[in-house]
Structures are given as structure tokens and as C-alpha cells.
Amino acid sequence: MPGTEHSAGQPYTVLARRFRPQTFDEVVGQEQIGQALRNAIQSSRVAHAYLFTGARGVGKTSTARIFAKALNCPNVRDAVPCNRCEICQAIGAGSDVDVLEIDGASNRGIDDIRTLRSNVNVRSMRSACKVYIIDEVHMLTKEAFNALLKTLEEPPPNVKFVFCTTEPNKVPDTILSRCQRFDFGTIAPDSIARRLTEIAVQEGIEVHPDAVDLVARRAAGSMRDSQSLFDQLLAFGGETVTAVDVHRLLGTAPDSRLVELFQGVIVQDRSGVLERLNGSLDEGVQIGSLADQLLNYLRDLLILSAGTTTVPLLSVAEGSRGDVAKQAEAWGLRNISAAMQVMTECRARMQRATHARALVELALVRMTLLADLDAIAAVVDGLASGAAPPARPPAAGTAPGAPLRPLTAASDVSKKKAPGLPDEHSPRDRLVDDRSASKSAANSGATPEPVHSAAMQEKPAQVFTFENLEQAWPWLLAQLPDPVAGHLRNCTKHAIFGPNTLEASFGASYFLSKAYCERPEVVSRLEAAATATFGRPMCVRFRMDSAAHRESAATRSPAASYERRPTSATANDAFVQSVLATFGGSVVEVRELPAAGPAAQDPADA
């Protein structure tokens, strides 16, 4: 490990460079990859090309340098370089002539790859292997990748390629198939915290464990990001660094403030939630950082509500797990998942909006309204199980203690009262389950059994007979679903024939309504309603109304009976010829209009 003492006249080197790993064992969180590379070197099974993929700051380029040192170090033992010889120090500094580090973002063209190809066949100057490390290889152009293919597949024996990228999906499959791929995972917060503690000890600065944990969680699995934040924190905090310093530096809210904020959300204390948010912003909390904390806190509530106990928390320290678990149990998984969707949408909109504070306030207020989801879920579960839904709250103007009617399939506004029947006996006050059953049967194509709801079985206020069919017809329509009733309202006539037959007639223009009503499931439903209306078994039939058909034909325009004449009849018509000369065209059809009255003319219509 390089020295950590600095004199006043020397430039300062950042922590990420001074504490860069020098052996495979020092690469935190990637032990399995280091072991695989060591075994490959010891067994002389080193491939000609490797692809290192993973998030930023997880050790890809550092591992590539260690791999190059292990191949070329003259004092290597068990694939562990000595880090003291001239070759190891030159590779660590990036100045070795046989280990070339190429930035794929700035050397991405085909000319750069042609230069690389021309130098590949040149033997190494002093090392056993010539190693090309191409960082951000996905930035190469398509032409550059194509120029690299043949060299990559059959390089000289002493040439090795190591490609590093954060976006392997942008690397062509022809390149991927020629490489051994190693995926670098993100680093656990505990591992990052241990490494930062070691750095603090070597730097001689006291850092509280809570501060180290905050930086480790903030790094989101990247060791380099954690070291950059830690470097900034050491310069900010002086000899002793606390959690308060971390929050002030990062613009985040303390754990206690997050717990209080969400406690107010759960108990629907909207004014308290907005006041705590305003207090946090006044204390210097950045709205973007707070939004990230709120989203991570909801994630912690989600995993605790799901019952897990081993997954680490991201928003607060482990000491607050008990408080978060109580809130998760009180709020419920359904509300937490809905709140997480609200906050995710808010965070996405904040990236392209200038009113970020208003968006966060709106999201918090919307979260306080999610408690009603439990009541809605109870209604849905009750309907699914066939139980009667809960009563509606009394409408405005209802006297206290008045009985409440059950939920209906249609709104009261859309109900049509049958003549002579009071509202409380309206058969359309039936449950949603009746209509759902009829709709399911219609979709399946099967003939359903007649459905008799409680409202259909009730006795009407007056007794309907065949003589008062005109009064019974609205009652009958009111017992049917809206689509069926809508088609039956197109009937021109309805009458009783035979002992128990109800016949409905449709005009010629309503043949589609007749076809709809003749469906087996519709006929079954209509016969059940007619049976309930008249108190005896009824059958239903439909027919076309021929009288209505003749009436419709008589009222049609007589244009179809116009007498047609040959087009040559307009050859001597001065007016028609003048129009043709002015506008062009030709005569297609000539017919004579009938006289409309005493003053009607008899011109030819061209």
C-alpha cells in the first residue's frame, strides 16, 4: 500500500488512487473473479481475450492492471505480483511500454484500431506478455469493432486483450463470443464500510461508525464513489467526522426525520407531514436527495412488510429497523406498494421539472390518502366471495337512522321508475353479482339458468295481468340489463298471444336489435323477467313488423322511381351545353323529376 503521509509542498493524491488495490485479494467484493484469474495463471490456461463488465467503480480496471502485473512480474509467486519491481510499479502507474491502456471513448475510430493492429505483431520490449486494456470498449464504432475481429480471434501468442465496459449490451455478439466474460457485482455496504474504516485509520482521522455507514449506503455499491465521498468528507469534517457532517455535506435528512415523516403519512397527518418537509428543507436538505431517501425508505417498508429479515436496509441504519418494521405492519403491503408507485412517478417527473418541491409535496399528500385502499379492497373481496357489499353512506339530506339501500348495478340517476311503482320497489336495485353472472354466461356462449335476484322476486306494488301490458312493460324492462333493455325499447309493438306467449315486434330498420334479443341467454333472461312480472311461466318470441316495413317504404324518397332518359336528350339543351362548356365533363345520367305542384316545372336533371 502506498504511503499516506503528505508534505505541504507535495500535491495531494485522491483516496481512490492512493488506496487502489494492488493484488487480487485487495479487490473488495470480487473474490471469486480474482480466484478464477489466479487459477488460470497458475495452470497456464490464460485466454487471449477477457471482458470485464459491471457497474462503475467496482474494480474492473484495477483487476485488469493486477492481471497484467501477474502475467509480467518476474517475482510473481502463486499468481501474486510483488508490487516492488520496476515492471509492477510501471504497470501500476500506467506507464509500462508493454501494457497499454486505451480509452475507448476517445480512441473509438477505425484508424485507432488499425494502429493497434499494426503494433500487435511487434514483440514486447521486456515482459513476457503484451497486454492491451481497452476501457469503455462499448464506445468503439461499428467499423472499429469489425476491424478488431480478426486480430482478436487469432492474436500472437504473447498478446492478451482485456476489455472493460459498463454496458455489455452495446458490444457486438461477434466480440462477446471471442472473449471470456466476467461480471463484476456491486459491493455490499458492509464491505464498503470496512474498507472506509481501514482508510480512516491509515489517514489518522476519527470517523464515527454511523458516518461510515451513511457513506457506504450512499455509494450504492460502488467502491470508487464511496472513496470520493469519503475523501470529500474528510476534508469537510476535520479531525472528527460525525453523521451530522455527512448529512450536511450530502444534503440528506437524518434517520429520525424520515421515521417521523412517514409516521405522519401513515396516520394521515397532512399538515404535520408538510411542516416536517418544510423544516427539513430549511435545514439545508436538498429536495433531490430527500426524494431518493423517501423512495429508499418505501423500499425498506416494502421488504419488511413482505416478511424478510435478512435483506439490509438502504434508507436508515439497522438500529431503526424496529421502528420501520412497526410502520410496515401498520400500513400494510397494499398501501406501501401504491405509495412506492406514487414516489417513483414523482422522482421521474422531477428530472424534467423545475417545481420539484411541489411534486414532492403532492406525492406525500397522495400517500396520506392511500388508507382508503383497505376499505376498497374489502368491498372487492366481498363481491368476489359473493357476499353482499357494504351499505353506501347516506346521501345529503337523508335523515339520521334511515335505512340504507344496497349498492346497485346502475346509478340512481339512470333509473327509470315504472308507472305507478314507488322507488323503494324498483327492481334495478340489484347487486353487481347478477350482472356479472349474466355477462360471464354471455361471453362463454352457454345458455345461463334464469337468474332471480331478490328484487325480481319481490311482489310489485300492483298486480300485472295481460290486460295492463302497457303498464307492465316498463316494469319488465327495468328488470333487465341495460343492453337488453335498450334493444327492447326499439320494439314497435308488444302483445300477449296464446296462453303464455309474449311477442315483441321490430321494424325493418331494427333487425340487429331483433337478432340480439334472439340470443339464447337474452331469451332466457327475458323469460325469467316476464315470469316474475306476470306471476306465471312465460315464453318470448320476436318477429319483424311488416306494417312498419310498408310504412317505411312508403315514406322513402321517390327518387328510386324516377324515369331515366337517354343522355342524348341533352344534346339540344342550351343550358346543359353551356354548363359543360364552362366547367367541362360529360353527361352521365338523365332522369325526369316528378311534378311537385301546380307551379312545378319539368326540367331535365343532368
pLDDT reported for residue 454: 38
User: What is the DSSP secondary-structure string of 392-412?
Assistant: PPPPTTPPTTPPPPPP-SS-G
State yes or no: pLDDT of 606 exceeds 70.
no
pLDDT reported for residue 559: 44
Average pLDDT of 299-309?
92
| CB-CB neighbours of 298 under 10 Å | 23
CA distances, 282 to each of 252, 403, 576 (Å): 12, 52, 87
pTM equals: 0.59
State yes or no: pLDDT of 7 exceeds 80.
no
pLDDT reported for residue 94: 85
Report, at the CATH architecture level, how domain 15-185 is classified.
Answer: 3-Layer(aba) Sandwich (3.40)
State yes or no: pLDDT of 291 exceeds 80.
yes
Torsion-angle region of 591 (φ positive above 0: left; ψ -120 to 50: alpha; else: beta): beta
pLDDT reported for residue 602: 47
398: burial class by Cβ within 10 Å (0-12, 13-18, 19+)?
Answer: exposed
Predicted confidence (pLDDT) per residue in 423-458, tens digit: 443 333 333 344 444 444 444 444 444 434 433 444
Residue 96 phi/psi, 5° resolution?
A: -75, 140
Contact between residue 258 and residue 297 where contact means Cβ atoms under 8 Å apart: yes
Look at residues 335, 368, 348, 357 and name the one whose alpha carbon lies nearest to residue 261: 368
Predicted confidence (pLDDT) per residue in 35-58, tens digit: 999 999 999 899 999 999 999 999
Average pLDDT of 262-278?
94
State yes or no: pLDDT of 20 exceeds 60.
yes
Residue 193: pLDDT band (50, 70, 90) is very high
Residue 422: pLDDT band (50, 70, 90) is very low
Task: Give 153's Cβ-side CA count (13 Å radius).
Answer: 8
Predicted confidence (pLDDT) per residue in 60-83, tens digit: 999 999 999 999 999 998 899 999
pLDDT reported for residue 432: 36
Share the mean pLDDT of the chain: 79
Residues with Cβ < 8 Å from 592, sequence gap 6 or more? Answer: 562, 563, 565, 602, 604, 605
119 vs 372, residue with greater confidence: 119
Specify the 3-state DSSP secondary structure of 71: helix
pLDDT reported for residue 163: 95
Longest dimension (CA), the chain: 125
Average pLDDT of 323-344?
93
395 vs 528, residue with greater confidence: 528
580: burial class by Cβ within 10 Å (0-12, 13-18, 19+)?
Answer: middle
- Domain boundaries in the chain? 15-185, 191-372, 412-553
Contact between residue 604 and residue 566 where contact means Cβ atoms under 8 Å apart: no
Residues with Cβ < 8 Å from 445, sequence gap 6 or more? Answer: none
CA distances, 508 to each of 505, 520, 526, 542, 543 (Å): 10, 22, 22, 13, 10
The domain defined by 191-372 carries CATH number 1.20.272.10: yes
Residues with Cβ < 8 Å from 479, sequence gap 6 or more? Answer: 427, 428, 455, 456, 529, 532, 533
Average pLDDT of 91-112?
89
Predicted confidence (pLDDT) per residue in 552-572, tens digit: 545 544 444 455 667 677 777
Report, at the CATH architecture level, how domain 412-553 is classified.
Answer: 2-Layer Sandwich (3.30)
- What size, in residues, is the chain? 606
